[in-house]
Amino acid sequence: MFAKQTYIQRRNELRRRMPKGGIVVLPGNSEAPRNYFDNAYSFRQDSTFLYFFGLQNANLVGVIDLDDEKDYLFGDDYTVDDIIWMGPQPSVAELGQSVGVEHTAHFDAARQTIKKALREGRKVHYLVPYRAEGVLLMSRLTGIRTDEHYNHYSTDLAINVAAMREEKSAEEIEELERAYQIGYAMHTTAMRMTKEGVPERVIAGAMEGVTHQLGDGVSFHSIVSQHGETLHNHNHDGICTNGRLLLVDAGGETVNNYCSDHTRTYPVSGKFSPLQREIYNIVLHSHDEVIRIAKPGQYTDLHKASFKALAEGLIGMGLMKGNADDAVEAGAVQLFMPHGLGHGMGMDVHDCEAMGERGMADYRAMVARADEIDTCIMRSRWRLRPGTVMSDEPGIYFIPALIEQWKSEGKCTDFINYDRLPEFYTFGGIRIEDDLLITENGNTVIGKENPIPVTVEEIEAFMANN
């Protein structure tokens, strides 16, 4: 937790940005049962609640009144029956005090406060809940049906929260550097363990163990696979085999829930084949090109530059043809990289995605306000500013099903040499990912003082010596 003043300032800043005439309701998360009620998933607080109220406890609701200076925290004190199992717990009043909230009351009072605001014709601003428990809670708090939240959530709140969360403060950047150190330990652990005959599962387990030793677990399910062409491959059943590439995309969270997200791809044998090296260096060039040019401005410019670098390399290899700029404009490079260059980073590994893009059923409302929504919740309009943190994660993948589909549809035949591609059907995929902080004039790579080996030479040297 940061100092109490940080949370007071954030709530005041939100109040300053939001229109008058309402309240903001920010529920924290509850425990989510795994296979029976008392056996829950590892608790993860809601990131926006954490950002404004800083508390890691379950079953709390924060309310910010936009028309006076009052903030509220609602929750029920634990009883002795709970304390027998959980140990001594602070009261809700004590929790409130620790983050500068004077007004605290029992959980049900949240519903009464919201009901009163609605009765008085005040706007109740809330974000679209993303968990079943959150959907039910929001319906209980507001009286709005569970299938109606997309028609009632607040775009004003989504935009303002995303804008605030996106601009990282110095103390948040320190947290992201700490998250990087967890990522460094994870990735070097994996690189050290990767050898012929080692199960992917053993590597994934060791890496995830590191996140629990150094922080609050993984920031997303680890991808540890020799089938790197499957973008989010969570299967760890493979056995490391010489000649194959292992793609490891993984990150950890600090105890304050700031995330890292890095990808490295390396040969099981410790030595890249000439072909692996050639394709790896195209991806690395694309990754480095983004680092070379990233500065305040439009995200789409970086996205296109990364695709152009890939196109140039693939044209050089004879897998693509024509002019690189035209290939990018035609969307041809997406055959080899069917994902975006990057995403926001922070307390969510895809920062603020809970309140936008794919999470947003009523996308039209967002599009109508597109010029205002230039945060990472709408990547097509994303404007990078000093303090933005983003991932830089180009890749080249050979996905037989996608290639066959494009070929049968005659897609982008001016740019793709389909005849060359079947020989790559067993190649797999390569992705390289680091996290960048946008600064006034350029960017800084998070963790640049102690980088995870990334060049062919660094990786081969590390694997030979460890």
Interacting residues toward ligand GLY by CB under 6 A: 220, 249, 261, 343
| Binding of Mn ion by 261 (CB under 5 A) | yes
Q: Which does 381 bind (CB under 5 to 8 A by kind): ligand GLY, Mn ion, none?
A: none
Between 288 and 393, whose beta carbon lies closer to Mn ion? 393
CB of 166 to ligand GLY, least distance (A): 17
Binding residues for Mn ion restricted to 127-146, rule: CB under 5 A: none
List CB contacts of 60: < 8 A, sequence separation 6 or more.
27, 28, 49, 53, 73, 74, 75, 92, 95
The closest of 36, 85, 89 to 59, measured between CA atoms, is: 89
What tokens appear for 222 in the block?
């680890």
CB of 338 to ligand GLY, least distance (A): 13
Q: Which does 175 bind (CB under 5 to 8 A by kind): Mn ion, ligand GLY, none?
A: none
Q: Which does 220 bind (CB under 5 to 8 A by kind): ligand GLY, Mn ion, none?
A: ligand GLY
Between 249 and 312, whose beta carbon lies closer to ligand GLY? 249
Q: What are phi and psi of 44, to 5 degrees?
A: -130, 120
Between 330 and 445, whose beta carbon lies closer to Mn ion? 445
Query: What binding mask, one character per residue, do residues 390-429 give for Mn ion by CB under 5 A, x or -?
Result: -x-x------------------------------------
Between 296 and 340, whose beta carbon lies closer to ligand GLY? 340
Query: What binding mask, one character per residue, do residues 356-395 give for Mn ion by CB under 5 A, x or -?
Result: -----------------------------------x-x--
Binding span for Mn ion by CB under 5 A among 19-27, 66-74, 257-265, 295-303: 257-265
Between 313 and 394, whose beta carbon lies closer to Mn ion? 394
CB of 464 to Mn ion, least distance (A): 28
Rounded CA separation 290/216 (Å): 30
CB of 433 to Mn ion, least distance (A): 5
CB of 68 to Mn ion, least distance (A): 41
| Binding of Mn ion by 260 (CB under 5 A) | no
CB of 252 to ligand GLY, least distance (A): 12
Between 202 and 231, whose beta carbon lies closer to ligand GLY? 231
Rounded CA separation 121/413 (Å): 59
Between 175 and 261, whose beta carbon lies closer to Mn ion? 261
The closest of 48, 46, 54, 47 to 7, measured between CA atoms, is: 54
The closest of 281, 285, 261 to 272, measured between CA atoms, is: 281
Q: Which does 460 bind (CB under 5 to 8 A by kind): ligand GLY, Mn ion, none?
A: none
Rounded CA separation 394/311 (Å): 12
Between 229 and 261, whose beta carbon lies closer to ligand GLY? 261
Q: Which does 225 bind (CB under 5 to 8 A by kind): ligand GLY, Mn ion, none?
A: none
Crossing angle for the helix pair 155-166 and 4-17, to the nearest 10 degrees: 140
The binding site for Mn ion (CB under 5 A) comprises 261, 391, 393
